[in-house]
Amino acid sequence: MESITMEQSSLSLDLSVGSHWLSHQPMKTERNSNAITSGDSKSKEVVNLRAELNRMNEENERLNEMLQNMYEKYSALQSQMMDIMSESGSEGGSAAPAPEPEKKRKRYNSKTQNEIVSNAMDQSISSDECLKPIKDDQIKSKITKVYVQTNPSDTSLIVKDGYQWRKYGQKVTRDNPCPRAYFRCSFAPTCQVKKKVQRSAENQSIVEVTYEGEHTHNAPTSQSDTPKVKNNVVANFVPASKPVTDEHIIHIKKKPHLDFDLSAAPPAELQYQLVEQMASSLTKDPGFTAALASAISGKILSFSPN
């Protein structure tokens, strides 16, 4: 039984490499150890447990491989994004936005932006090509549109992106039964950045987030800077793994707001932070944790003589 205990603990450690939270999930083995009484059934149970542990180790390895693949793909996408940013960054995008005209309600911006976005979606053009109309038209505010995968049961329109937002309006639009929420950056009074959040009409687990403008301050990174929510759960800011179509990111005019700065960290720390971020995202998903807990407990309980 000692060896089994050691193997179980090592399994727990192995899993914790990919997702550290598992080390906080106590494995309920008391039932198994108490239930095994007779010699024959004991040895059978030991054999079964070892076989099962081997299977779990293999599964653990597969998960590690998947994680590694995910990291490689993420790195490739990251470098791709950096290339795009470096190309578009030289266009003078850092220039301060022109002061707002006296009249706030101008349809010029929204109309032009909507046209650009819909054009991009219709033609499935690359983000590079998407940027051209913006540059040509000298639109003062930068538009970033991202799609965020959330829990389908989560009906909130809160997207955790590291910034602090104040909601100032909500509207049901004509082409989408889901309401659209309007937010303003409340971290700095001078910051004019706005964002619109609306669930996709086709797939309500996907939230469309449209950012307008550029932050005039640094991104807050602490957990306390996440939006304050009354009754709803905060959605995880995870790029949609299975977006509606290829246009999951229409405009990449600036870095997405991750909880850490990818460009500043050395590779080892970057990988550590990436794993932390992924584990954090997964653990914040109640569906994932519930399913995993259920799977683990099911495996453990399946050894029970009952």
Partner DNA sequence: CGATTTTGACCAGCGC
Partner DNA sequence: GCGCTGGTCAAAATCG
Contact 290, 26 (CB under 8 A): no
Reference 151, options 210, 236, 231, 208; nearest CA is 236
C-alpha–C-alpha distance, residues 7 and 15, integer Å? 12
Least distance in angstroms from the C-beta of 98 to DNA = 15
Directed axis angle between helix 2-18 and helix 39-89, to 10°?
10
Smaller CB separation from DNA, 108 or 272: 108
Q: Which residue has the tokens 């909507």?
A: 114
Strand order in the sheet with 194-199: 165-172, 179-185, 194-199, 206-212, 143-149, 249-251
Q: How far is the CB of 168 from DNA (least distance, A)?
A: 5
Least distance (Å) from DNA to the CB of residue 94? 23
Beta bridge partners of 181: 170, 197
Q: Between 24 and 104, whose beta carbon lies closer to DNA?
A: 104
Which 3 state secondary structure label does DSSP give 190? coil
Amino acid identity of residue 163, one-letter, is Y
Question: At its nearest, how many Å lie between DNA and the CB of residue 230?
Answer: 4
Q: Which is closer to DNA, CB of 166 or CB of 217?
A: 166
Q: Where are the alpha helices (DSSP H) in 138-180?
A: none
Nearer to DNA, 39 or 101 (CB): 101
Tell me the backbone φ, ψ of residue 238, rounded to 5 degrees.
Answer: -125, 125
Nearer Cβ to DNA, position 91 or 137? Answer: 137
- Minimum CB distance to DNA smaller for 15 or for 142: 142
Taking the complex as a whole, the smallest distance from the CB of residue 28 to DNA amounts, in Å, to 33
Q: How far is the CB of 197 from DNA (least distance, A)?
A: 11
31: tokens are 């039932």
By beta-carbon proximity to DNA, the closer residue of 31 and 180 is 180
The residues binding DNA (CB under 7 A) are 103-108, 110-111, 114, 164-171, 173-175, 180-182, 186, 194, 196, 227-232
R_g over Cα of the chain: 24
Residue 134 beta carbon to DNA: minimum distance, rounded to whole angstroms:
16
The amino acid at residue 201 is A
Distance, CA of 148 to CA of 164 (rounded, Å): 17
